[in-house]
A and B are shown apart, each in its own frame.
Chain A
């Protein structure tokens, strides 16, 4: 049933198509010629023109139809473009048409059938009327912009993925190019600066040596800026890079030299106005420039800038803060450390190490009020204060330490214990024993360590108790080391004849002279 219905439907479609095709094809010969002329070309359809033999040879040549003379007249070769018909009609020439379908000669009827079939199958869509532009072609072309890559535009926009990839490549090229150009620019600039630096350095060394070795300090102090011109020309002195090289060279020499030479360098620094350059740096917004300025201030003892430096001692930038405090510690004539006490940011080990170096150096000249640091609200500052007592050997502050020890945090207690141990504060043995009973394991650990050199009989008892209660191997080793130092009999009692292999191992370890530092 379905099949028959389908066959009927198909038959109907073909019939309608055929009828439709036949309707379009003109029956009249003139219209038929017009039809072919409008189509210009029909796939697979060719024709041959035959003109009467009376046509003169010159005219035949002018027609540009590649005519050849035969017995029946002038015959063209097989052509496919029907557009020539209009010219022939205009010239009022008589001719005969011979049709060819795929190079085989056929009648007009066969051609009509052939075109009908093409139309029915959808292989040929006839033009019913020649569309003529309403406007002048040239005028239209002017309105339409010239698009040389129109074809490519279609390709890219039609394929979205290709379009995205192309956009990425473009973006990529731009970024890559930009990055590489920036890098090359930076490298070139760096190289250029390096060359200039070397050049300036060579220009600076000789005059600086001359000034240092040939001029007295008074002479240098009385020299005016103009008098420096033969040594350091003003035209160069205004250049930032030259200033930078000069500053570095002076600071470098200042670090190496001593006594009057140091003073001479500082005088030159001032006379050339480099102190102003350094002072200006700490007012900049970029942290590394401020830090540079602080280093220069510190090295060249620019005490006049201390007020500005103090403002930076609590800066949010770690490096600025550190260098500002270093400069203050180094240059401040006062012995109070209030700027350090009032710091809100925690002090890192790195900062402590740097401050310690300066404080050690400054302590040789003046007694610093380290105890001020114990009053700080910042625990890391208080801990640093305790460390300073230990590292500077400030026995005079042990009493203050003992006062704060009772209320101290566990971290502070550890530092206090270490300080007692290093200074040898035997009078604080009660505090040590108290710490041996602490609940914080780190405090206990430090107390065990400290008791090794400062403990008493009570400590031995406490240590023995800890040994029984603590399972940790490293703590047991530590306890037995302390007991060994304090009471050898107790040590033997605890480690021998107890059947505990761990204790024997520890005993052997402690008694091995090779392991004295382990």
Chain B
């Protein structure tokens, strides 16, 4: 997930930006995995990147209900595709960006 929505329960200041209590905020958590202060080459896919606490499944009581299922499904899917389709490659032009709220 790229975006999570939350409501502030108290006044908070993040990097000089004051957010008053009761504000509806949208967190672009997808950007965390591209944090240049944490990863040396943030825009590049690196399957050897050390595990980090990804916020993609949320945090706390609203943690994603299907996180464990999602990890299992993705592991099965990627492993199966890559082992069965050894010469899979991109065909045609690069895909276009989808103007969706939470997916690209």
**Bound pair: A and B?**
no
